[in-house]
Structure 1
């Protein structure tokens, strides 16, 4: 694994958390974690919706780059299958940023992200 892939694996989640936190802070006048979905922060027509959407896309790209390096290190076929499924989930994460709340594909790509990313983690963990 390249050093840049290791950095990417560290930066990806950091970009996600900072992006979500920043979007929540910008919209603190109306957004509440107990009352709203995170997707509400990136919805169509919302000023500064790009803060969330760009951070989701960037996170997906960074973690996919990391996962490519991780995949090369794995020897177990079950772990590799889990990583491949997780990468598919990350593609859906990027699509959430490309199709924010208020677009017709948003509901489907959101569900696809949660299902595939979750199963990818589960399968990779079972293979470990």
Structure 2
């Protein structure tokens, strides 16, 4: 169960986001907006739903990072878990500082960057060569994906980024001790 907190964080995010999308289905679509627009009080109906989901998801992501640290057998995994905790904190902050505030974009981007960096370090510390190679590949895919001008919208780029997060969370669940 301890390994599932990262995935649980994303599931919570998706549940609250899905409710927000349903409530705001008259205007919100992935090709025009980022998920954060669902938490913008001046734009979204019941924007608090999205923000609460991001905050709770961030709490679970931080717990995931603490659990990674508490069960890590080397320094790289401990540092990786620390970055995941920071990612969770930034996730919480992106729920507190909703879209439209000065710091939101920086906070939202930092959430992803800290998560990917943390998982790269975690993967580099893994004794399981397959896990290590997967985490390195995902980190490269995240950076390349961020730099490629192929995305029809930032919302689609977010889906891509979240998909990589889900894959990493699943890999941690199935990593051999």
> Any conservation in 2 of the 1:44–1:103 contact (CA below 8 Å)?
no
Following TM superposition, where does structure 1 have runs of at least 4 consecutive aligned residues deviating by more than 3 angstroms?
A: 5-11
Partner of 2:63: helix, strand, or coil? helix
> Are residues 1:32 and 2:29 paired?
yes
What is the alpha-carbon distance in structure 2 between the residues aligned to residue 6 and residue 113 of structure 1?
20
Q: Deviations over 1:52-94 (max 9, x none)?
A: 1000100111221232122111111111111101111111110
Number of matched pairs: 125
> Which residue of structure 2 aligns with residue 54 of structure 1?
52
RMSD: 1.7
Any residues of structure 2 matched to 1:1-128 within 5 Å, and which?
A: 5=2, 8-9=5-6, 11-45=8-42, 46-128=44-126
> Any conservation in 2 of the 1:81–1:123 contact (CA below 8 Å)?
yes
Residue 36 (structure 1) shift: 1.1
What is the alpha-carbon distance in structure 2 between the residues aligned to residue 94 and residue 59 of structure 1?
8
**Structure with bigger RCO (C-alpha 8 Å, 6+ apart):** 1
Query: Unaligned stretches of 5+ in structure 2?
Result: 127-177
Query: Unaligned stretches of 5+ in structure 1?
Result: none
Q: Deviations over 1:88-125 (max 9, x none)?
A: 11111100000000111112211211211121122211
Partner of 1:74: helix, strand, or coil? coil
